[in-house]
Amino acid sequence: MYKNTIKLTASAVALCAASSAFADSLTVYTALEEEEVAIYLDAAKAAMPDLEIDVLRLSTGKLGARLLAEAGNPQADVIWGWAVTAMMDPQVLELMAPVKIAGTEALAPQFRDTEDRWFAQIGYMGAFCVNTARLEDKGLTMPTSWADLEAPEFKGEVLMPDPNESGTGYLHVNAVLQGMGVEKGWAQLEAVDPNMAQYTSSGSKPCKSARTGEYTVGISLAFTAMQSIEEGYPLAMVFPSEGVGYELEASGILSSSDQQEEAKKFLDWTMSPDAIELFSQYKALVTVAGAKPSETAVKAGLPSDISTVLAPVDFVESAGRQNEIKAEWREKFGR
Is the pLDDT at 177 greater than 60? The verdict is: yes
User: Does 322 lie in the same domain as 240?
Assistant: yes
Q: How confident is the model over 124-170, as pLDDT tens digits?
A: 899 999 999 999 999 999 999 999 999 999 999 999 999 999 989 99
Mean pLDDT of the 172-181 span: 96
User: Does 258 lie in the same domain as 203?
Assistant: no
Query: Residue 159's CB: how many other CB atoms inside 10 A?
Result: 24
Cβ contacts of residue 19 below 8 Å, gap of 6+? none
Q: How far apart are CA 155 and CA 218, in angstroms?
A: 13
Is the pLDDT at 302 greater than 70? The verdict is: yes
Is the pLDDT at 1 greater than 80? The verdict is: no
Residue 206 belongs to what domain range?
124-244+301-333
Is the pLDDT at 4 greater than 60? The verdict is: no
Count of structural domains within the chain: 2
Q: For residue 250, list its beta bridge partners.
A: 82
Q: Is 277 part of any domain? A: yes
- Mean pLDDT of all residues in the chain? 90
User: Does 229 lie in the same domain as 165?
Assistant: yes
The residue count for the chain:
335
User: Does 157 lie in the same domain as 23?
Assistant: no
- What does the pLDDT read at residue 181? 96
Query: Residue 73's CB: how many other CB atoms inside 10 A?
Result: 7
pTM for the model: 0.75
Q: Is 6 part of any domain? A: no
Interstrand relation of 119-131 and 158-161 (parallel, antiparallel or unpaired): unpaired
DSSP strands (E only) in the chain: 25-30, 52-57, 78-83, 119-131, 158-161, 196-200, 217-221, 235-238, 246-253, 285-286
